[in-house]
Structure 1
Amino acid sequence: MLAVVLTAQFMAVLDVFIANVAAPTIGSALHASGADLQLVIAGYTVSYSVLLITGARLGDRIGHGRAHLAGLALFTVASLACGLAQGATELIVFRLVQGAGSALMIPQVLSLIQRSFTGEARARAIGAYSAVLAVGAAAGQVVGGVLVSADLLGTGWRPVFLVNVPVGVVLLAVGARVLPRGGAREPEQARALDLPGLVLLGAAVSLFTVPLVLGQEEGWPLWAWLSLAAAAVLFAVFTGHESRLARRGGAPLIAPRVLRHPGMGLAVLRILAVMAVNAGFLFALTLHLQGGLGYSALRAGLTFAPTAAVFGAVGLTWRKWPIAVQRLLAPAGFVLTAVAVAGVGLALRGGGSGGAWLHVAFVAAGAGIGLAFSPTLTGALAGVRPEDAADASGLLATVTQLGQLTGVAAFGTLFLNRLESLGAREAYTSAEALLTCMFALAATAALGAVSGLVLRRR
């Protein structure tokens, strides 16, 4: 069961990144405009982010196994449609549907882990989950580069989507046998679906997500800032609505006891910070490697292999470390991440390839991000009751996604603006822009450690 849901998780994470590499080929093949390509890449992420909480709630009502299979089927069919699309508009629509399929199947992964494993087995399963997140993010660029470069049977960009189809079919066949069909609450126990809350949260996440994924390419126009401001207002309205609903004895979208669970607030803060650093690090470094140093998409993707491998190894093994040090792993991970990303910037300073120190910094970054993320996620879910698994899964999955989007938008903008201010586009100026970005990432990681200590003391 775990192999099925984690393979599906890997495909979903892969598809967040895989289209980036194929974008130039898609543009030329489908005669797509720059705006079309933005929507092809962003459409998946937008619908995925907006519908995650809804997917978690549906799993709670119809059963997590059934919801996962339904989302996997929708994702697989949409992947086939994306691979066969004949125009940019079709591809954009199918990417939106693909994201909706991911939003239905992915929250069920943590819920199934929560309901199916206990104790040390649960911790190992969550470690595997976090490892898949890391490997999927780095592998998306590598796999995309391999498939586009191979140009299988003259199909160009289409295999980046079609590769999901045979994997999805196998997972559906196996999942139908091994995933639990039950798990849905009885009608008298099931909480009513908070439709006003869903609408408010969906609108708030949409208004937050769209400018983050499109703002940089559009030059951060006025509508992007107005959208972010409106998102903040709607988040406040959503919070007020949920509080009033809970006081009246209703069924809020996220149970207040989940938000009040010891350590949940700290976990949300840390996951936001570490995912923002992780995504910003990958994005800015990719821009430098391909734009500044002239690396191919495949070579740039392979550069991240040490970081992804160490992240995965840490996620799978940290529970075996001495109990006495486990409580310190998350803040130590943030500190190590800060040192490592600053080291990457310094190693590449001057426009060079970095040498041996760059590889040391990559390994340290993978270890630091893994230590900051995996123990935090495990700790947040450790004491959550099975009946609250859907709420916790939807919340943390959404936080993870929003952290990644924020990291790409904030640090990508910083890198590009710094590059523009330096003038000439060459390896040296790109390296200077990267150094500024890496120092900002290091400061964010340091704040993740310090803020966590302050909140814990309070």
Structure 2
Amino acid sequence: MTSKDTVATEPAQDAPADTPADRRRWIALAVLMTACFMDLVDATIVNIALPSLQRDLDTSFSTLQWVTAGYALAFAVGLITGGRLGDIYGRRKIFLLGIGGFTVASLLCGIAADPAMLVGSRLLQGAMAALMVPQVLSIIHVTFPAHERGKVFGMFGAVVGLGAVCGPLLGALLTQWDLAGLGWRPIFLINLPVGIAGLVLGRRFIEESRAPQALRLDLVGMALVSAGLLALLLPLTTGREHDWPLWGFVLMASSAPILAAFLAYERAKSRRDGSPLVELSLFRVRSFAAGIGVQIAFSTTLGVFFLIWTLYMQFGLGWSALHAGLTGVPFSIACSAAAGMSVGKLVPLLGARRTLQTGALTMAAGAVVYLLVAERYGMGIASWQMALPLVLMGAGMGMVFSALTDAVLSEVPQQHAGSASGLINTTNQMGFALGLAFTSVAYFSVVDERLPAEGSRAFVTAFGHAMWWVAAVLGVVFALMYALPKRAAQHAEAGVADAPEPGAEALLPEPAPEPVRV
């Protein structure tokens, strides 16, 4: 049996440097990092091309919402199940399935002939990312010994930061260049050579691994939570376009009993076989329950902001994709810098809660400054006049995301750390999808009302209206943070931190914040 066919079920042991196995695992790491970079760039690259996409396909604003929200929702719903599939059937196998499916979905997005095909392809892309991404950290866990993982996670964080900066710029350049007259389509087609290379190299250099005692799949739980979320998000996203029909309110009302049925089923499944999709006992931990509330509220805010921001600059101010992409650079730089400073300096000095609250207040201050600047300069605003509020908002976001995971997990029992981490990543994506859906109420309803009389100025007016929502929700986030511990507790004793619960490796928290969707 070759090394690539070996099935590992335990964390990697120390290995001599510069051996063939050592070189293989660093190549495997490069493949994993490249796949993550592809996913992160794809998540950030789309918004900047939305105006070009809307003109080319002559589609509605609700469809544009689904192009972004569909990806986030499919990603969120599939994350935990994707991790379990890797534990059961092999992480390399599921990773290769995910990257292959992601590549095919990217091709389908790039050749989409109509809005329905594009939205369907984006849903598929998000589902494939949910298979691919959870395997990355679990493969690293079984491939690298403990003393090397700090360096590896540092590299991982650098890739996340690079993706946050490169995504908007790459999307702007590809859209602006209009390669071969393809317009926005290269933002998806660029994934094809990267995905094919990842398949070939991943098959050769990534070793197979499984959890020694993998949990069972919870297909009924997945179906119930998917139905409940869809019943809530579908009317919010499309209701405005159909003049808020009765069926939309019925669907939204039905989401509550569906999600209640999901909770009841999860309790029963936990008693029956101990393998629910969601470990409900975690919500008895006050800091975890509050942290999940913070995560959802904060991600909802980001979902609103990043969609309305690009529409404001391109539809409202008439800027090109490249102009809008370059305007966002101060945000990305400030976010990356603050994330590193937060964990390394602010948390030890101020404690987790004060650091998080400082981040929330900084971002809220940036939103208010942005409102004042946008109101003062109106349609004549320049990129440099946006720099200060964008730096404040980026710095606030970096402080929150970098410190939030430790604060939320600080009082969680060690045996449930994997499940808790998976829920944090999942609720991050769900909150983002919810924010994208809420733009119908916070932004597009104002555009619809004012567009006939004001023209492009309606997008500027709507931006100001929606930014008050952003500032208000950040105030709620600040208040929720009082339920978090002042300082993150050390919930893993020496020698225990390196041994997570069986099947939990795929759900370990990401070492850096999810990149901004600019």
Normalised by the shorter chain, which TM-score bucket? 0.7 to 0.9
Equivalent residue number for residue 74 of structure 1: 101
Q: Verify: 1:211 aligned to 2:262, yes or no.
A: no
1:146 deviation in Å? 1.8
Whose RCO is larger (CA < 8 A, sep 6+)? 2
Residue matched to 1:53:
80
Residues 390-416 of structure 1: CA deviation (Å, up to 9, x unaligned): 634542222111111222232453133
Q: Which residue of 2 aligns with 1:395?
A: 423
1:101-250 → structure 2 map (5 Å cutoff): 101-112=128-139, 136=163, 139-177=166-204, 179-182=206-209, 184-186=210-212, 189-250=213-274
1:17-28 counterparts in 2 under 5 A?
A: 17-23=44-50, 25=52
8 Å CA contact 1:42, 1:214 repeated in 2: no
Counterpart-to-counterpart distance in 1, 2:294 and 2:186: 36
The correspondence for 1:8, drawn from 35, 41, 45, is 35
Instruction: Give the letter aligned to residue 330 of structure 1.
Output: L
1:325 aligned residue: 350
* 5+ residue gaps, structure 2: 1-27, 487-518
Please, what TM-score do these two structures have when normalized by structure 2? Answer: 0.75
Contact 1:48 / 1:100 at 8 angstroms: preserved in 2? yes
User: What's the CA shift for 1:282?
Assistant: 1.8
Q: Match of 2:472, as an amino acid? A: A
Partner residue of 1:441?
470
Bigger shift: 248-257 or 97-106? 248-257
CA, structure 1 residues 333+392, in 2 after alignment: closer, same or farther (shift >3 Å)?
Answer: same
Structure with bigger gyration radius: 2
Separation (CA, whole Å) in 2 of partners of 1:304 and 1:76: 27
8 Å contact 2:51–2:311 — kept in the other structure? no
- Measured after TM superposition, the shift of residue 434 of structure 1 is 2.8
Is the contact between residue 78 and residue 130 of structure 2 (CA under 8 Å) also seen in structure 1?
yes
Paired AA for residue 397 in structure 1: N
Task: Identify which range, 52-61 or 218-227, moves more after superposition.
Answer: 218-227
Structure 1 window deviating more from structure 2 (1-10 vs 406-415): it is 1-10
State the secondary structure of the residue aligned to 1:252. coil
How far does residue 260 in structure 1 lie from its aligned partner after superposition?
Answer: 4.8
Partner of 2:367: 341
Structure 1 residue 417 displacement after superposition: 3.0
CA deviations over 1:215-273 (Å, ceiling 9, x no partner): 44444433333322222221111111111222345321123455456732232122222
Normalization by structure 1: what TM-score? 0.84
Residue number in structure 1 paired with 2:493: none
Structure-2 residue corresponding to 1:372: 400
Structure 2 residue 118 is the aligned partner of structure 1 residue 94: no
Listed one character per residue, the Cα deviations across residues 6-47 of structure 1 (whole Å, up to 9, x for unaligned) are 443343243345444545655666677877766655543443
Moved more, 159-168 or 374-383: 374-383
1:316 has 2:302 as partner: no
- 1:150 partner amino acid: W
* Contact 1:419/1:425, CA 8 A, preserved across alignment: no
Gaps of 5+ in 1: none
Is 1:404–2:432 an aligned residue pair? yes
CA gap of 1:37–1:438, structure 2 versus 1, over 3 A, is: closer
Instruction: Please report how far the alpha carbon of residue 178 of structure 1 lies from its aligned counterpart in structure 2 after TM superposition.
Output: 5.1
**Matched residue, 2:479:** 450
Whether contact under 8 Å (2:48, 2:325) holds in the other structure is no
Question: 1:224 & 1:373 partners in 2: Cα distance?
Answer: 33
Q: Amino acid of the residue matched to residue 316 of structure 2? A: G
Q: Give distance in 2, aligned partners of 1:157 and 1:96.
A: 18
C-alpha contact (below 8 Å) 1:278/1:404 kept by paired residues: yes
Q: Is the 8 A contact 2:361 2:474 kept in 1?
A: yes
Report which stretch shifted further, 309-318 or 2-11: 2-11
Deviations 1:328-386 (A, max 9, x none): 21111111111111111111113041675531211111110111111102444578788
Specify the code of the residue in structure 2 equivalent to 1:331.
Answer: Q
Contact 1:341 1:441 (8 Å CA) reproduced = yes
Shift of 1:131: 7.1
| Match among 355, 379, 391 for residue 363 of structure 1 | 391
Deviations 1:60-111 (A, max 9, x none): 3223343222211110122223334555555444333222211211233454
Q: Using the TM superposition, give the Cα deviation of residue 130 of structure 1 relative to its aligned residue in structure 2, in angstroms.
A: 6.9
Q: Give yes or no for contact 1:13–1:133 (8 Å, CA) kept in 2.
A: yes
Q: 1:339 to 1:273 in 2, by over 3 A?
A: same
Q: 1:260 to 1:134 in 2, by over 3 A?
A: farther
| Secondary structure of residue in 2 paired with 1:348 | helix
* CA–CA distance in structure 2, aligned partners of residues 124 and 32 of structure 1: 46
Distance 1:383 1:140, change over 3 A: same
In structure 2, relative to structure 1, the CA distance for the partners of 1:276 and 1:119 (3 Å cut) is farther
After superposition, the Cα gap between the structure-2 partners of 1:347 and 1:93, relative to the gap in structure 1 and judged at 3 Å, is: closer
Is the contact between residue 103 and residue 191 of structure 2 (CA under 8 Å) also seen in structure 1?
A: yes
Cα contact 1:32–1:88 (8 A) shared by 2: yes
- Structure 1 vs Structure 2 CA RMSD: 3.6
Q: Contact 2:327/2:383 (CA < 8 Å) preserved in 1?
A: no
3-state SS, counterpart of residue 199 of structure 1:
helix
Counterparts of 1:308 and 1:159, CA distance in 2:
23
> In 2, distance between residues paired with 1:76 and 1:437?
35
